[in-house]
Amino acid sequence: MTEKKEKIRIGVIGLGWIAQLYHLPILSRLRDVEIVAVCDSGKGRARAIADKYGIKQYYTDHHKMLKEAELDAVDICTPTDSHKDISIAALEAGCDVFVEKPVARKYEEALLIADAVKRTKRKLMVGMNNRFRPDAMLLRSFIENNEIGKVFYVKAGWLKKPLPEHTWLQTKSISGGGVFLDLGIVMLDFALWMTGYPEVERVSAVNYSLKNSHVEDSSAVFLSMKNGATITIEVSWSFMIENELHYCNIYGDQGSGKINPLRIHKDMHGGIVDVTPEKVDPTQRMLTRSFENELKHFVGAVRGLHSLISSAEEAVERMKIVDAVYRSAAKKREIVFK
């Protein structure tokens, strides 16, 4: 059983920027992890990364790695079009799986992955690192403890400057979609997680393709929830802005909370009082800490120390909403959930 092992043996598949900047440095520092193999379509990159981290085995074929390397888990950091096949292959090889967001290009692919998780009785976690930001976890604890009352409105967004041309994110056959599958799904997950997963009743969306004719580069989404709350999400790769903007503002009937920076206000004694905890990490540390906390959580779940969050089942529900967003934008009408 993996929980009895002193170290979890992990293989990393896909050695692009997110693996090099976050996953590999973090995993290499964890005492209960051994990176035993890496895999990338570029042999030179795989060999260089293996040399840098003292990893004995490197591959260009994930099937060969899964067959030859003795692994407890794999960490998938490849483009989205390969997530389904690699995840299912890893699960069927007896590995637990961490896969970067989004879980797949579309709802049907997510269902196949979730079915493989049930069939193999393995664990699969989808990377949603914003949940693991220290400020986000603090704010969620306030909301769970009813400190801001009943949440009725959430406004979330992630706005970036225009992307460089010809990235795989802008190729629909690889990415599955544009900015909503890249940034929107993160803010969707964040808003739902923060508010306790209210059920969606209606979805209305507008997508814009200003800089790329193949996928949307800006998106505005309005969600009506069955509990009466509303959630709005705006995301863009193409807004002409000076600085990147990443936010989530949450409004309850007794107070409000926001991140970036963290601020929590309550209605107390007839006035609005700032109840933000004093000791919070600087904003620039939030991103690194979120990946650290996320990967530690995955390793702990593989070891059997706690249950897994951001599971395949949750990912299927997120992708169902994503599918409704794209249908609403394409048909120019509201999508009603039955």
How does pLDDT run across 185-223, given as a tens digit for each residue?
A: 999 999 999 999 999 999 999 999 987 778 999 999 999
For residues 308 and 55, give the distance between their C-alpha atoms in angstroms, rounded to a whole number.
27
- From first CA to last CA, the distance across the chain in angstroms is 42
Which tokens go with 17?
């920027």
The CATH 3.30.360.10 domain(s) of the chain lie at: 131-282+318-336
Strand ranges across the sheet with 124-127: 57-59, 33-39, 8-13, 73-76, 96-100, 124-127
For 238, the token pair is 């193409």
How far, in Å, are 148, 160, 223, 256 from residue 271 at the CA level? 14, 36, 31, 13
- Rounded Cα gap, residues 251 and 136, in angstroms: 15
Residue 196, H or E segment: none
> Residue 166: its pLDDT value, please?
65
Out of 3.40.1180.10, 3.40.50.11540, 3.40.50.720, 3.40.50.1370, select the CATH number for domain 2-130+292-311. Answer: 3.40.50.720
* Burial class of residue 58 (count of CB atoms within 10 Å of its CB; 0-12, 13-18, 19+): buried
Split the chain (338 residues) into runs of 10 and give each run's mean pLDDT: 71 97 98 98 97 97 98 98 98 98 98 98 98 95 96 97 78 93 97 96 96 88 98 94 94 96 93 88 79 98 96 97 98 96
Residue 9's CB: how many other CB atoms inside 10 A? 19
Q: May I ask the CATH architecture of the domain 131-282+318-336? A: 2-Layer Sandwich (3.30)
Express each pLDDT in 122-145 by its tens digit.
Answer: 999 999 999 999 999 999 999 999
Can you give the pLDDT at residue 251?
A: 98
Name the E strands within the chain: 8-13, 33-39, 57-59, 73-76, 96-100, 124-127, 151-159, 200-208, 218-225, 230-236, 245-252, 255-258, 263-268, 271-274, 335-336
Reading the block at residue 220, the tokens are 């505005």
Distance CA 55, CA 53 (A): 6
Cα angle 47, 13, 44; round to 5: 20
pLDDT for res 1: 40
Q: What is the pTM of this model?
A: 0.94
- Residue 5 confidence (pLDDT): 64
pLDDT of residue 123: 98
pLDDT at site 2: 44
- CATH 3.40.50.720 in the chain is located at 2-130+292-311
For CA atoms 57, 75, 130, 205, give the dihedral sign: positive
How many C-beta neighbours within 10 Å does residue 284 have?
A: 7
The dihedrals phi and psi of 138, each to the nearest 5 degrees, come to -65, -45
The torsion of the CA quartet 250, 146, 318, 11, rounded to 10 degrees, works out to 100
